[in-house]
Chains A and B, each alone.
Chain A
């Protein structure tokens, strides 16, 4: 009751409040005869103190906080005002962007974002409904029960089915499948259990049977050994004569090469005297033009004509004579053959000698051919377009021979040696680096600007 009365009185005291009672009653407060109230009592602080100005001030503050994000008096000048200089002439300024990534700097926020920020100090009210779950307790209880069961080993049906499915391939398998990773595990390849435990017919029918490797592939392509030891002259501290022998070999190779070059030069050589001089050129041009010795030509013509007229038909006489001659010569020949045959009996020894010589020659040739074939087995075969180029002998000259292992400078490259050895043993074919061939010719075009100049 008292509270209601108080409220009414407070409401009535607000400015502009029209109460049901007439204003004559309210005039009482404003006109002279005011009721004297004791403001020192706590009961009267609420009723008769006028806190309108404070309330106004506070309302104003609250409004500012709500609407503009803080007191306006505390805001910096730049956020409230800007100096209007008038229209600015726009000219391109090279913007030095230091340390900013990309064209639009991502470190500065967008203007629209700044404008649309809510800058009120009053936070938005939180949505308690979002945190409310009607049956949270029940769900929690169910989860706990499921955990307990899972700990004991009883799983719901769905999970059981998932687990029974085959597990997916893990990522670690792909990394270890590489062939050359350093900690690669090895196992006993030749011992161990045989994998071919299945029936061979079954394997054949299902297409899982491994094809047998052809026998010819097991033979080595060359009889040369894999690692050929260098001659004793190639030691780092060689014996005098073996070193000389090696130097001699290298020397012979160089001599051969020089001779080949000389040969080519000789083939291309032209005799100095054969070059055309002015006289000879003139002679050639003039030949046949000068009129000399015309008489001789006429005589030669007569002889040829006479020879041609002689060929007339043969007479009978001539034919008979020819036939008789033929018979006679045939008889003579037969007689000669007969006597030859008789005489051969006395020539037996010489005949035997010639036969022996012939046989020996054939035997020699056969042996030579066999030797050639054997030698070819150790030679590198021609396997492609390029021929095999043997590498240079590794030799150190007499003044390069080191006195000690410390001062030794290695000669030749083992990598190249292995590569050439594989070519020599017919394992790979000699190849050269592929050249860069252009499909179409490059065209050079002058720029238009330059074309105008020149």
Chain B
């Protein structure tokens, strides 16, 4: 037989992967140490495409790592530290066993430790890379800072997490970067925009901690170790961008620090950047950007000038954080926590946030509102009317700001109202409990439906005409400005809409047959969703009508 025969599993994907145990033996580490190292360095197991090839013919489920990654791990200086630590533990145990206390002390003083700075620098070479990955770090640090200080995980870690989270919140407050808040049954979701990156994180509630048993605490602790290091460096850099001193002093109250820092924030806002039109950009885009910026700045001053007082039963940290982010002054009862600057009896308080059904002593010149007003106002980017959130009133539902409805989807009527408010159109304020006019609700629903229906009708007409081979009666004529009844803001919007609809119709007419076929398919699908949305709206109306009828009956019975 001439020539060398190729043996199986000697090249290709079989040699690119290595099983976990083999990797561990190559590195000469224990399994726990190996897992820790992989987590710290960011090396994850891979699932190969052809498992049978890699597993040398068997289909047993195994964990595979890329061989190149493991070879890269061999050069890591922390591996040496792990081995030293193992030796240290062994010596310490022996000294304890032999009751050589001087040896124990000496060993303890020279305990080997390692630093993760170079790993962070290697994983995130630039600051923006690190900022992209901060979501996970934030959520973990907030989670650990809510842990109870029992011995389950190091108390030092919990303290460090607490410090880092407070620093981060202080930064967000100073830079006014908070954009969205969502109160869910799991916890509170926040979204902030920092240096152009949208960062979402989840903060659990302070109470209710059941420690689930199937969570591996060692793994979580290792992740936290890495994330706290990363987080600290990011904080330092962020504080540098604001020209603040790091580490800041006395942040536990979040109250005094802001007074010092507000000055710098104001200075920044005054320096407005000159508008340089970039090459190739139209005037329109620039104007759009300017508008956006102005809106942003207006949003940042949402609660400016208002003075709030938080009652005892209200989640203090969350509300204080949000209110400060938008420029308000906040205080609470001194007996709760340090940092309450003014008392309940202060006359200049404009709003008091209460969560009880009623409150005994009422001051005249302040509003007593439920905490949902704050969250909803932040999400709506404007100060909502306070009447919906008085004490004892059934609150409107708290909508999620993270949902973006597409064209035909169901939009809850509350959201429609909100959008109307934002647009500035005034219409009669009505509360859900009133038995009187709910015409506005129907009006808006009808409007939405009407627009869709008219579009459909027009398109159908066009199609029919086209199929019959007739030339369409529409001609392109120079545009005429039609006089409208009153010159309100809504008319402009309507004009724009009309123009867009016209353009759309023209484009449809000019399509080829094939393209038209595809377009029809798409529209059919879309219309289906709108039809479903309408069905849901009708259901909702029916539900409301029945509940209103019941209430009317009840009232009639009472009287």
Partner of B186 from the list A182, A186, A241, A410 (CB cut-off 8 Å) is: A410
Residue of chain A at shortest CB distance from B412: A239
Known: A179-B225, A234-B184, A414-B186. Contact between A227 and B397, CB under 8 A? Answer: no
CA–CA, A260 to B61, complex, Å? 23
Asked if A181 and B156 sit within 8 Å, CB to CB, the answer is yes
- Chain A residues contacting B266 (CB-CB under 8 Å) are none
Partner of B39 from the list A182, A190, A419, A428 (CB cut-off 8 Å) is: A428
CA–CA, A90 to B543, complex, Å? 99
- Chain A residues contacting B232 (CB-CB under 8 Å) are 184, 186
Does B457 reach chain A (CB closer than 8 Å)? no
Asked if A404 and B355 sit within 8 Å, CB to CB, the answer is yes
Asked if A241 and B69 sit within 8 Å, CB to CB, the answer is no
Tell me how far the C-beta of A32 lies from the nearest C-beta in chain B, rounded to whole angstroms. 88
Known: A179-B114, A182-B159, A238-B398. Contact between A414 and B109, CB under 8 A? Answer: no
Tell me how far the C-beta of B519 lies from the nearest C-beta in chain A, rounded to whole angstroms. 20
Asked if A408 and B115 sit within 8 Å, CB to CB, the answer is no
Tell me how far the C-beta of A293 lies from the nearest C-beta in chain B, rounded to whole angstroms. 54
Asked if B225 and A180 sit within 8 Å, CB to CB, the answer is yes
Partner of B66 from the list A174, A216, A426 (CB cut-off 8 Å) is: A216
Asked if A241 and B63 sit within 8 Å, CB to CB, the answer is no
Does B474 reach chain A (CB closer than 8 Å)? no
- Chain A residues contacting B140 (CB-CB under 8 Å) are 418
- Chain A residues contacting B183 (CB-CB under 8 Å) are 235-237, 405
Does A116 reach chain B (CB closer than 8 Å)? no
Residue of chain B at shortest CB distance from A182: B159
- Chain A residues contacting B395 (CB-CB under 8 Å) are 237, 403-404
- Chain B residues contacting A432 (CB-CB under 8 Å) are 214
Of the candidate stretches A283-291, A318-326, A380-388, the one touching chain B is A380-388
CA–CA, A416 to B213, complex, Å? 9
Partner of A383 from the list B47, B410, B412 (CB cut-off 8 Å) is: B47
Known: A239-B397, A405-B355. Contact between A417 and B117, CB under 8 A? Answer: no
CA–CA, A197 to B507, complex, Å? 63
CA–CA, A385 to B63, complex, Å? 8
Known: A177-B113, A226-B135. Contact between A217 and B42, CB under 8 A? Answer: yes
- Chain B residues contacting A232 (CB-CB under 8 Å) are 399-400, 402-403
Tell me how far the C-beta of A237 lies from the nearest C-beta in chain B, rounded to whole angstroms. 4
Does A415 reach chain B (CB closer than 8 Å)? yes
Does A411 reach chain B (CB closer than 8 Å)? yes
Asked if A227 and B202 sit within 8 Å, CB to CB, the answer is yes
Interface residues of A in 223-265 (CB under 8 A from B): 225-227, 229-232, 234-242
Asked if B111 and A174 sit within 8 Å, CB to CB, the answer is yes
Tell me how far the C-beta of B65 lies from the nearest C-beta in chain A, rounded to whole angstroms. 10
- Chain B residues contacting A211 (CB-CB under 8 Å) are 72, 75
Asked if A229 and B182 sit within 8 Å, CB to CB, the answer is yes
Does A171 reach chain B (CB closer than 8 Å)? yes
Known: A179-B114, A229-B182, A384-B45. Contact between A188 and B236, CB under 8 A? Answer: yes
Asked if B63 and A429 sit within 8 Å, CB to CB, the answer is yes
Known: A190-B126, A229-B402, A239-B412. Contact between A179 and B143, CB under 8 A? Answer: no
Asked if A419 and B220 sit within 8 Å, CB to CB, the answer is yes
Asked if A221 and B154 sit within 8 Å, CB to CB, the answer is no
CA–CA, A189 to B236, complex, Å? 9
Tell me how far the C-beta of B230 lies from the nearest C-beta in chain A, rounded to whole angstroms. 9
Does B314 reach chain A (CB closer than 8 Å)? yes
Does A412 reach chain B (CB closer than 8 Å)? yes
Residue of chain B at shortest CB distance from A420: B215
Does A282 reach chain B (CB closer than 8 Å)? no
Partner of A405 from the list B44, B61, B110, B315 (CB cut-off 8 Å) is: B315
Does A213 reach chain B (CB closer than 8 Å)? yes
Asked if B185 and A411 sit within 8 Å, CB to CB, the answer is yes
Does A48 reach chain B (CB closer than 8 Å)? no
CA–CA, A381 to B49, complex, Å? 11
Does A99 reach chain B (CB closer than 8 Å)? no
Does B62 reach chain A (CB closer than 8 Å)? yes
Residue of chain A at shortest CB distance from B231: A186
Interface size on A, residues (CB 8 A): 72
Asked if A406 and B69 sit within 8 Å, CB to CB, the answer is no
Does A431 reach chain B (CB closer than 8 Å)? yes
CA–CA, A376 to B66, complex, Å? 20
Known: A236-B184, A415-B220, A419-B220. Contact between A214 and B397, CB under 8 A? Answer: no
Does B207 reach chain A (CB closer than 8 Å)? yes
Partner of A184 from the list B160, B220, B223, B237 (CB cut-off 8 Å) is: B160
Does A409 reach chain B (CB closer than 8 Å)? yes
Asked if A382 and B61 sit within 8 Å, CB to CB, the answer is yes
Asked if B110 and A174 sit within 8 Å, CB to CB, the answer is yes
Contact with A along B39-54 (1 / 0, CB 8 A): 1001111110000000
Tell me how far the C-beta of A185 lies from the nearest C-beta in chain B, rounded to whole angstroms. 8
Does A378 reach chain B (CB closer than 8 Å)? no
Partner of A187 from the list B69, B110, B236 (CB cut-off 8 Å) is: B236
- Chain A residues contacting B210 (CB-CB under 8 Å) are 413
Does A178 reach chain B (CB closer than 8 Å)? yes
Contact with B along A203-223 (1 / 0, CB 8 A): 000000011011011100100
Does B208 reach chain A (CB closer than 8 Å)? yes
Asked if A234 and B185 sit within 8 Å, CB to CB, the answer is yes
Does B163 reach chain A (CB closer than 8 Å)? yes
Contact with B along A387-414 (1 / 0, CB 8 A): 0000000111000000111101111111
- Chain B residues contacting A428 (CB-CB under 8 Å) are 35, 39, 44, 219
CA–CA, A159 to B122, complex, Å? 45
Interface residues of B in 55-73 (CB under 8 A from A): 61-63, 66, 68-69, 72
Known: A180-B225, A235-B397, A236-B185. Contact between A241 and B205, CB under 8 A? Answer: no
Does B414 reach chain A (CB closer than 8 Å)? yes
Asked if A227 and B355 sit within 8 Å, CB to CB, the answer is no
Does B327 reach chain A (CB closer than 8 Å)? no
Known: A211-B72, A214-B72, A427-B44. Contact between A189 and B117, CB under 8 A? Answer: yes
Asked if A190 and B237 sit within 8 Å, CB to CB, the answer is yes
Tell me how far the C-beta of B182 lies from the nearest C-beta in chain A, rounded to whole angstroms. 7
Asked if A239 and B414 sit within 8 Å, CB to CB, the answer is yes
- Chain B residues contacting A191 (CB-CB under 8 Å) are 237, 240
Residue of chain B at shortest CB distance from A229: B402
Tell me how far the C-beta of B233 lies from the nearest C-beta in chain A, rounded to whole angstroms. 4
CA–CA, A113 to B229, complex, Å? 63
Partner of B223 from the list A218, A229, A422 (CB cut-off 8 Å) is: A422
Tell me how far the C-beta of A181 lies from the nearest C-beta in chain B, rounded to whole angstroms. 5
Does A433 reach chain B (CB closer than 8 Å)? yes
Does B116 reach chain A (CB closer than 8 Å)? yes
Residue of chain B at shortest CB distance from A431: B216
CA–CA, A385 to B47, complex, Å? 12
- Chain B residues contacting A418 (CB-CB under 8 Å) are 139-140, 143, 220
- Chain B residues contacting A385 (CB-CB under 8 Å) are 61-62
CA–CA, A112 to B229, complex, Å? 65
- Chain B residues contacting A412 (CB-CB under 8 Å) are 185-186
Asked if B186 and A179 sit within 8 Å, CB to CB, the answer is no
- Chain B residues contacting A182 (CB-CB under 8 Å) are 156, 159-160, 163
Interface residues of B in 71-103 (CB under 8 A from A): 72, 75
Asked if A181 and B160 sit within 8 Å, CB to CB, the answer is yes
Residue of chain A at shortest CB distance from B206: A410
CA–CA, A419 to B356, complex, Å? 36
Residue of chain A at shortest CB distance from B136: A226
Tell me how far the C-beta of B336 lies from the nearest C-beta in chain A, rounded to whole angstroms. 15
CA–CA, A406 to B205, complex, Å? 12
Known: A229-B182, A241-B410, A396-B185. Contact between A188 and B237, CB under 8 A? Answer: yes
Known: A177-B115, A180-B225, A227-B135. Contact between A429 and B45, CB under 8 A? Answer: yes
Q: Can you list 16 A-B pairs, Cβ within 8 angstroms, ordered by A?
A: A171-B109, A174-B109, A180-B157, A187-B236, A211-B75, A217-B72, A227-B136, A229-B402, A235-B398, A383-B45, A384-B45, A406-B313, A410-B187, A413-B210, A416-B215, A419-B220
* 18 additional A-B residue pairs with CB within 8 Å, beyond A177-B114, A232-B400, A241-B540: A188-B237, A189-B121, A191-B237, A214-B69, A216-B69, A227-B200, A227-B201, A227-B202, A235-B182, A235-B184, A237-B372, A384-B61, A385-B61, A405-B371, A410-B187, A415-B212, A415-B220, A417-B202
